[in-house]
Amino acid sequence: QVQLVESGGGSVQAGGSLRLSCEASGFTTRHSYMAWFRQVPGKEREAVAGIDTYGTTRYADAVKGRFTISQDNSKKTISLQMNSLKPEDTAMYYCAADGRFTAVVPFSRSSYKYWGQGTQVTVSS
């Protein structure tokens, strides 16, 4: 049973920083990829950043240069360092994971089988 547990959300003023973490348990596959998505009410859930087992990363254009995704393979944990936060970054952030080989970290929601419960990030102006 794969479980993803997020932590680190909260409230911050514009220009500030937050760090999200996601710990995965129950993963037994050799290949895997994990990502952060975010969603605001009334809008589609969108990918923010992703990383695979080999450390290949991918970022949405809206967060390039401000967010950094990293992983600790030994602990099956990924983190999202969010700097220079903007009010438009306000959303529920979800950790997602899947255990298949892929050449490019996918950004489609349907590519992820496992999801965390979400953690709220609020950025005030």
Bridge partners of residue 19, in order along the sequence: 81
Average of per-residue pLDDT values in the chain: 93
Q: How far is CA 30 from CA 26, 52, 98, 102, 113, in A?
A: 12, 11, 11, 12, 16
Contact indicator for 2, 25 with CB cutoff of 8 Å: yes
The pLDDT tens digits for 22-43 are 999 887 776 689 999 999 999 9
Amino acid at 121: V
Contact indicator for 49, 57 with CB cutoff of 8 Å: yes
Q: What is the DSSP letter of 65?
A: T
Does residue 76 have a pLDDT over 90?
no
What CA–CA distance (Å, rounded) separates 73 from 90?
A: 28
Does residue 74 have a pLDDT over 90?
no
